[in-house]
Amino acid sequence: MESLQGRLLVATPAIDDGPFWRSVVFLLDHDEDGALGVIVNRPTPADVEDVLPTWGARVNAPVCLFDGGPVAMDSALALGVVGDQEPPVGWRRMTGKVGLVDLEGQPPAAGRLQGLRVFAGYAGWSGGQLEAEVAEGSWVVVEAHDDDLVSPQPELLWSAVLRRQDDDTRFWTTFPADPTVN
């Protein structure tokens, strides 16, 4: 089995409601035991400074917590995108310039991260579950771009990721959000 770590799961129109409707999930881990990721296009009204005061100034716009998924919503994790300089202490590479950031430590100096997002909760799949969902057409797997994870307009990310594909999946962006009003 090829690991999908560092790639994006993009919800297909087959997922027509619930927390994964039109979601984009960055996979943090994937192996025979299961998969774990965070939804990167679900900002919440909660301000990062209210929950993690020392990190609020390091988060890029929108400066809010993101709903990472329906599992362990009382926990937080962060993804950071580094520039060309040495990555900060507490940053662990996932793919390219994207890595997990240790929220227990001190925030890195300004400029050490090009972007930072904090997520409450995560999405998880047991062994074989994600593969079955991909096979049944609930998800497409695509390459992640570093900028996807810190997009200033996360609400447009689902469409943006699909539009850059060179197959028929890009046409899903023309589907109405609510087909009953079509």
**What does the pLDDT read at residue 89?**
85
Domain 7-181 falls in which CATH fold? Answer: VC0467-like (3.40.1740)
d(CA 4, CA 29): 8
Q: What is the domain partition of the chain in residue ranges?
A: 7-181
pLDDT per residue as tens digits for the range 79-110: 999 988 788 888 899 888 999 999 988 887 65
pLDDT per residue as tens digits for the range 24-78: 999 999 999 999 999 999 999 999 999 999 888 888 888 899 999 999 888 999 9
Helix, strand and coil percent figures for the chain, each rounded to 5: 20, 35, 45
Supply the pTM of this predicted model: 0.91
Phi/psi at 57 (5° precision): -70, -15
Residue 62, preceding peptide bond in cis (omega within 30° of 0): yes
